[in-house]
Homo-oligomer: A and B are copies of this chain.
């Protein structure tokens, strides 16, 4: 009885171990430059074993994406239950996004650079769409919050969807900037948190009704 369960659990664990190794390698090198050899070595399994769990390099890569999406989805949902004022909600969602970026930088970057390299040609359009839709669902929540702010008279009458895209683009731009340039002198004293908060300060000031 327990034997079957144990096997399944162990199988899941091995699968996860491979994914963990893959995450490191894919993030460090990118999809194309990463090699199954290196992943296998890092996972401490033979290359053949990798193919028992994933049909191809691409499938392995995509499995990480899926995992990232799921994790973000869950975190999001937990936070959304605590509704407050529009401004607080905006800052709250930014905070969730920031935390995800900090806690799961690998996932974030894999998700973010999905487009890069030759994955696109090997990704099934269905899967790609699925990712987009998941993302849009989340963004629509933000749009709703801005609309709420407008309705309540807190915010000026801006286009809530444009504003949503601006917020998202800004957060991504900041994270990207910090990832790339974090070691550079001109970033001194600034990090994702500080810059994101600063951007929100200005944005919210610009949004508020006077």
Bound Cα distance from A163 to B165, whole angstroms: 19
Task: Tell me whether A186 and B31 are in contact (CB under 8 A).
Answer: no
Residues of B within 8 A of A136 (CB): 184-186
With A117-B29, A117-B32 in contact, is A162–B176 under 8 Å at CB? no
Task: Tell me whether A33 and B195 are in contact (CB under 8 A).
Answer: no
Task: Tell me whether A132 and B184 are in contact (CB under 8 A).
Answer: yes
Residue of chain B at shortest CB distance from A206: B206
Interface size bracket, A side: 35 or more
Task: Tell me whether B199 and A166 are in contact (CB under 8 A).
Answer: yes
Bound Cα distance from A180 to B117, whole angstroms: 11
Q: Which of A103-123 contact B (CB under 8 A)?
A: 113-118, 121
Residues of B within 8 A of A179 (CB): 115
A69 within 8 A of B: no
A201 within 8 A of B: yes
A22 within 8 A of B: no
With A31-B117, A171-B173 in contact, is A202–B198 under 8 Å at CB? no
Contact with B along A21-36 (1 / 0, CB 8 A): 0000000111111000
Task: Tell me whether A162 and B30 are in contact (CB under 8 A).
Answer: no
Residues of B within 8 A of A185 (CB): 136
Residues of B within 8 A of A116 (CB): 30, 113, 116-117
Task: Tell me whether B118 and A202 are in contact (CB under 8 A).
Answer: no
A203 within 8 A of B: yes
Bound Cα distance from A132 to B64, whole angstroms: 32
Bound Cα distance from A202 to B167, whole angstroms: 11
Contact with B along A178-190 (1 / 0, CB 8 A): 0111001111001
* Supplied contacts A158-B201, A166-B199, A166-B202, 11 more A-B pairs, CB within 8 Å: A115-B180, A161-B186, A162-B190, A162-B198, A165-B174, A165-B187, A168-B173, A169-B199, A202-B206, A203-B203, A205-B205
